[in-house]
A and B are shown apart, each in its own frame.
Chain A
């Protein structure tokens, strides 16, 4: 070997040795820290009023809600800043009594002025929260007769104020520090938020992580078990799993198809059961549903042409359940006493589907555009769309799969440019009031923009719910809406999706709950 060859060999060997010498986990951490690796942080916002609903899982550690909610979605007087609340006989004045002695992370007291300020901010024009619009319509005034008492006055009698301001929905109920925001401005608050929750903000590196530190003691969870909680943004699943294997993260969202492999390695996998309904619908035209979907038999045929059990098994690795009710968000069923009866379950019956098409005068099928896209929490999006179009092809429908991204489909949907075409969404499951808010947008003709259903009977029932103050009557109305949605086949409910979260072997018991966009990490940190 001459001198040059030796030089090359030595340099290559040195590099290889250098690589091996640095072996070993780099993010090794103490047991008092909790690290959560997630595939997406949505907008990565720290301000509840700016798309905060999508990232409740970390915001709910920093902020307290006015009304508390258990991980299973039930209102509780133990979990919110309001220790109790009551309404006037006419259901137009709601009085909330605040817990005493609660302070923001900067030392300021939490008072009724903060509650008023937060709610006004959430309803403001700048707000992009989930339910700013309905609250704007509903609330007439907010009174603060005492530092520990706030009264919300509504324009119409209603039962839903506590739910709207609870952790079970969006972020409108989060209480923010009025003085801090007024002194420093919205932009400073959005970068260095101050709340009253069990964890305070430490740092955010966009595209990388958000780090929170525990307060000494918190009225909600006692002394937090973890001194820090870090949310790491790790878009690639292989990397999240590698981090879990290396012990560098404690919780990671994983795909349904990797669950078996992780369970084999004894990693506990926790599911958020029925976290979303995968639901398809037809884009309306200027006059509602176009032909041939205007015919109920065609809508039914398209529903029974799909083998939901097979889709649940083959596309979603068995981590999904067949769905039967259009827009039927199952977490609301328990609230309103709705039960899916066996006759409501869609059978897989392509022969009958063909017969129904023939009866509707489209025996030879019809052209149908189907938009195919991935969504957060739905990496199987395109495979799913292909599978469904395959079933529809079998009954003679001439489908055309159009690969787009979701915003492109949404534009088609709201502009009504391609009536009768089909799209879908993994709609986050929610309680009855969340469901009602969704129906009011997607199944209520006057809502126009997002409407997918034109039905006078359903419009009438939706309009009645908001004004109704008798919960039994509300429940009956909601049950009737679902029943009619199902009997008229207003949409194609396909499956309920279970969302898996793998955890490190040391983590122990954890109930990720059944509240939209929340993971109840604070329950995991609770010492109570």
Chain B
């Protein structure tokens, strides 16, 4: 029997609540362990790669700096120590949340992340909200009205969303909507209105993918036997679509949304740059372009942690959406 249709759920009868909880805890712990191993590997990779990109002192010191100036700065910033010592010091501090001082800004990196991460999170939540608000109704409608002009219009929106480069969309919106029409702010963070253009730019790209995914998943589910049975039993159409079909079409969409949420938080470099949005993506860009090792390391590890947490959340959500999943593991 397909889940979501009837009241009879034999799996629940076999397993007690305690067994379910123990299974979930085991699952979460094993995922956490995997994430920690991944973060440890990531810390080595980012430490090595950051140093392979060049010497930050050539950007910190003036063009006329002498060899003595270089030696002084290297010593002061701790860059004269052996790599192993630098790595151990970095990891030792990182586990306590101390990522050292930014070579460029001379501020604790954790403070910089603390300033930027909430901005990125807020923008990502807004963008995800925009994309869900557009993609869900459009995707479902496109599936239900397959082959109609509405379906085709939705396809056009999807194609445009995925094919128009984000930087182009961002610049066009700034130039016309903010600069010429003066409808919305052009950049910076100042109240709700300042979220609209960057949020829409970020969200539109996600809309396209999410809508297509939802449409194809819905088409598949709407064609399944249990949906046909529901219709035969006389369940009203909007209940069939929104309650029975949608729930089962959500698994791939949740995965997609989870992955994209992490991406929106951590890599919205273009949107953050165009809209002068002080977020994590721009911090990463600033760190990389100024060879700011502590910032690069901290941003990459934070990004890794966000991806791990989001993935874990998505996995847990699967179990809520489809109870069969917890027992398959």
Show the binding face of A for B, using Cβ within 8 Å.
Answer: 3-5, 7-8, 11-12, 15, 19-20, 22-27, 43-45, 47, 50-51, 53, 125-126, 128-133, 170, 187, 190-191, 205-209, 232-236, 238-239, 241-243, 245-246, 248, 405-408, 410-411, 414, 425, 427, 437-438, 440-442, 447-450
- Which one, B62, B133, B182, B188, contacts A208 given CB within 8 A? B188
Of all A-B residue pairs in the complex, the 9 with the closest CB atoms, nearest first, are: A242-B179, A207-B278, A242-B186, A8-B137, A23-B183, A26-B185, A441-B64, A208-B278, A410-B58
Binds A, one of B17-25, B65-73, B83-91, B247-255: B65-73
Q: Are A43 and B278 in contact (CB under 8 A)?
A: no
Q: Select the residue from B58, B133, B150, B276 with max chain A CB neighbours within 10 A.
A: B276
Chain A residues in 8 Å Cβ range of B174 = 236, 238-239, 242
User: Among the listed A4, A19, A128, A441, which residue makes an inter-chain contact with B241, where contact means beta carbons less than 8 Å apart?
Assistant: A4
Interchain Cβ contacts under 8 Å between A and B, 6 examples: A8-B138, A19-B196, A26-B184, A43-B290, A128-B60, A207-B282
Q: Does B238 contact A (CB under 8 A)?
A: yes
Shortest distance from the beta carbon of A359 to any chain B beta carbon, whole Å = 35
Given A205-B278, A245-B179: A232 touches B188 (CB 8 Å cut-off): yes
Whole-angstrom distance between the Cβ of B56 and the nearest chain A Cβ: 8
CB-contact partner of A242 in B69, B112, B178, B286, under 8 A: B178
Closest to A448 in B: B67
What is the distance, in angstroms, from A338's C-beta to the closest C-beta of chain B?
21
Assembly CA distance A482 to B200 (angstroms): 56
Q: Does B82 contact A (CB under 8 A)?
A: no
B278 touches A8 (CB 8 A): no
Task: Determine how close the nearest CB of chain B comes to the CB of A276; give it in whole angstroms.
Answer: 12
Check B70–A191 contact: CB distance below 8 A: no
**Contact across chains for A125 and B76 when beta carbons are under 8 A apart:** yes
Kindly state whether residue B291 has any CB partner on chain A within 8 Å: yes
Decide: A3 and B54 in contact? CB cutoff 8 A: no
* Bound Cα distance from A232 to B190, whole angstroms: 13
Interface residues of B in 98-153 (CB under 8 A from A): 104-107, 112, 115-116, 130, 133-134, 137-138, 140-141, 144-145, 150
Contact indicator A449/B70 (Cβ below 8 Å) = yes
Once the chains are docked, how many angstroms separate the CA of A321 from the CA of B107? 40
Hey, which chain A residues are within 8 Å of B14, CB to CB? none
When the two chains form their complex, are residues A206 and B105 in contact, meaning their CB atoms are under 8 A apart? yes
**In the complex, B180 has a CB within 8 A of chain A:** yes
Query: Which residues in A have their C-beta under 8 angstroms from that of B67?
Result: 448-449
> Are B183 and A208 closer than 8 Å at their CB atoms?
no
Please encode chain B, from 233 to 273, with 1 for each CB lying within 8 Å of some chain A CB and 0 for all others.
00001100100000000000000000000000000000001
Residue of A26, A44, A234 ringed by the most chain B CB atoms within 10 A = A26
Instruction: Return B204 CB to nearest CB of chain A, in Å.
Output: 12
> Which of the residues B66, B180, B194, B289 comes within 8 Å of A449, measured between beta carbons?
B66
Question: Which single member of A43, A130, A447 contacts B60 (CB below 8 Å)?
Answer: A43
Q: Does B187 contact A (CB under 8 A)?
A: yes
User: Do the beta carbons of B64 and A130 come within 8 Å of each other?
Assistant: yes
**Is there contact, CB below 8 Å, between A12 and B182?**
no
Residue on A nearest B76 in the bound complex, by CB: A126
Q: Which of A25, A53, A132 makes the CB contact (< 8 A) with B69?
A: A132
In the assembly, what is the distance between CA of A190 and CA of B130, in Å?
40
- Cα A408 to Cα B144 in complex, Å, equals 56
Q: Which residues of A contact B187 (CB under 8 A)?
A: 234, 236, 239, 242-243
- Would you list which residues of chain B between 277 and 315 have a CB under 8 Å from chain A? 278-279, 282-283, 286, 289-291
CB distance from B117 to the nearest CB of A (A): 12
* Cβ contacts under 8 Å, A241 to chain B: 179
**Shortest CB–CB separation between residue A170 and chain B, in angstroms?**
8
Please, how many angstroms separate the alpha-carbon atoms of A518 and B289 in the complex?
Answer: 24
Residues of B within 8 A of A (CB): 54-56, 58-70, 72-73, 75-76, 104-107, 112, 115-116, 130, 133-134, 137-138, 140-141, 144-145, 150, 171, 174-175, 178-194, 196, 200, 237-238, 241, 273-276, 278-279, 282-283, 286, 289-291
Q: Give bound CA distance, A25 to B178, whole Å.
A: 8
| B66 near A133: Cβ-Cβ < 8 Å | yes
Taking the closest CB of chain B, its distance from the CB of A416, in whole angstroms, is 13
Shortest CB distance B99–A (Å): 14
* Inter-chain contact B189/A19, CB cutoff 8 Å: no
| CA A439 to CA B43, docked complex, whole Å | 43
Distance, CA A190 to CA B108, complexed state (A): 11
Question: How far apart are the CA atoms of A48 and B133 in the complex, in Å?
Answer: 49
User: Is there an interface contact between A408 and B54, defined as CB atoms closer than 8 Å?
Assistant: yes
B104 touches A425 (CB 8 A): no
For residue A173, give the distance in angstroms from its CB to the closest CB of chain B.
Answer: 15
Complex CA distance for A449 and B130, rounded to whole angstroms: 54
Check B282 against A407 for contact (C-beta < 8 Å): no
Residues of A within 8 A of B190 (CB): 26-27
CB neighbours (8 Å) of B72 from chain A are: 125-126
Knowing A206-B112, A208-B278, A239-B174 are in contact, say whether A133-B68 is a contact too (CB < 8 A).
Answer: yes
- Min CB gap A59→B, angstroms: 14
List, in ascending order, chain A residues with CB within 8 A of B106's CB.
43, 45, 47, 50, 187, 190
- CB neighbours (8 Å) of B116 from chain A are 206-207
Choice from B68, B70, B141, B183 contacting A4 with Cβ under 8 Å: B141
Nearest chain-A residue to B178 (Cβ)?
A242
List residues of chain A with CB within 8 A of the CB of B55.
407, 411
**CA gap between A50 and B106 in the complex, in Å:** 8
Residue of B nearest to A427 (CB): B63
Whether A239 pairs with B276 at a CB distance below 8 angstroms is yes
A205 touching B59, Cβ below 8 Å? no
Contact, CB under 8 Å: B276 / A208: yes
Q: For the complex, what is the distance from the CA of A190 to the CA of B278, rounded to whole Å?
A: 20
Q: Given A128-B62, A405-B289, verify A26-B54 contact (CB < 8 Å).
A: no
Q: Which residues of A contact B61 (CB under 8 A)?
A: 128
A224, chain B: closest CB distance, angstroms: 24
Residues of chain B with a CB closer than 8 A to A238's CB: 171, 174-175, 179, 274
CB nearest neighbor in A for B103? A43
Closest Cβ neighbor of B275 among chain A residues: A239
Q: What's the nearest-Cβ distance from chain A to residue B292, in Å?
A: 10
CB distance from A463 to the nearest CB of B (A): 16
Q: Which residues of B contact A209 (CB under 8 A)?
A: 188
Q: Is the CB of A3 within 8 A of B62?
A: no
With contacts A8-B138, A206-B105 taken as known, whether A22 is within 8 angstroms of B112 at the C-beta atoms is no
Q: Which residues of A contact B63 (CB under 8 A)?
A: 425, 427, 438, 441-442, 450
Chain B residue numbers with a CB within 8 Å of A128 are 60-62, 65, 69, 73
Beyond A47-B106, A206-B107, A208-B278, whether A22 also contacts B188 by CB under 8 A is no
Considering the complex, give the chain B residue whose CB is closest to the CB of A414.
B58
A191 to chain B, nearest CB (A): 7
